[in-house]
Amino acid sequence: MRVTAGLLRVDHEEFYMQIRRSWVWVLVVGGLVGALGGACGDDDEGRPILEYVGRACTAAEQCYPDIDHAELPGAVVCLAEVQDGYCTHHCAVDADCCAVEGTCDFEAELAVLCAPFQSTGERYCFISCEDPGEMNADDYCGRWAYPGFICRSTGGGSTNRRVCVPPGG
C-alpha cells in the first residue's frame, strides 16, 4: 500500500501476495493441529480406541497385543459370537479384569466387570454399562466404549450383567 497526498493507494499485486501468504500459514497451522489431534488415539468424535477388552478380533492372538498373555488371570479369548469379535479373557471376579497394569487404562472412567456369557458357564471381562450416570445406556456405550456399541445383557442366566457390545452380537 502506498499513501499519496492523503489518498490510500493499493498495490493489487502486493495485496494479493499478502493474502496468499496468510492462507499458506492457515493451511500449515491447520495441518499441524489436525496431525497432532489425530495422534491421540481418538476417532473423529473423541471416542477412545479400545486396545484391550472389547477390541475387535478374529483370533485370540490379536487381543492384548502389548500384554504377556501369561500375566493375565485367565486365558485370552476372542468371542466370535459377538459381531466383529470381542477381545476378553476368562475371569472369576471383577478384580481379575484389571489385575494387570495397563489393561484398563481408558481415557474415560469405564468399569470393567466379570460376567457369564450366554449361559455357557464361562466368565469373561466386559465393559460395563450398569451405571451409565445420566446418559442412556446405549448412548454411554457408543460414546465411551466404541461407536455403535450398545448396552445389553450378557445372557448368563440369573447372574447376567449389563455390558457394552456391538449390536447383533
Instruction: Provide the grid cell at 120.
Output: 455357557
**Binning pLDDT at 50, 70 and 90, where does residue 56 land?**
confident
First to last CA, the chain: 67
Task: Write down the domain spans for the chain.
Answer: 2-38, 60-165
Mean pLDDT of 10-21: 56
Rounded to 5 degrees, what are φ and ψ at 75? -65, 140
**Binning pLDDT at 50, 70 and 90, where does residue 27 land?**
very low
Q: What is the pLDDT of residue 143?
A: 85
Mean pLDDT of 115-131: 88
Q: Alpha carbon 81 to chain centroid distance?
A: 21
Share of the chain above pLDDT 70, in %: 68
pTM score over 0.85: no
C-alpha–C-alpha distance, residues 163 and 131, integer Å: 10
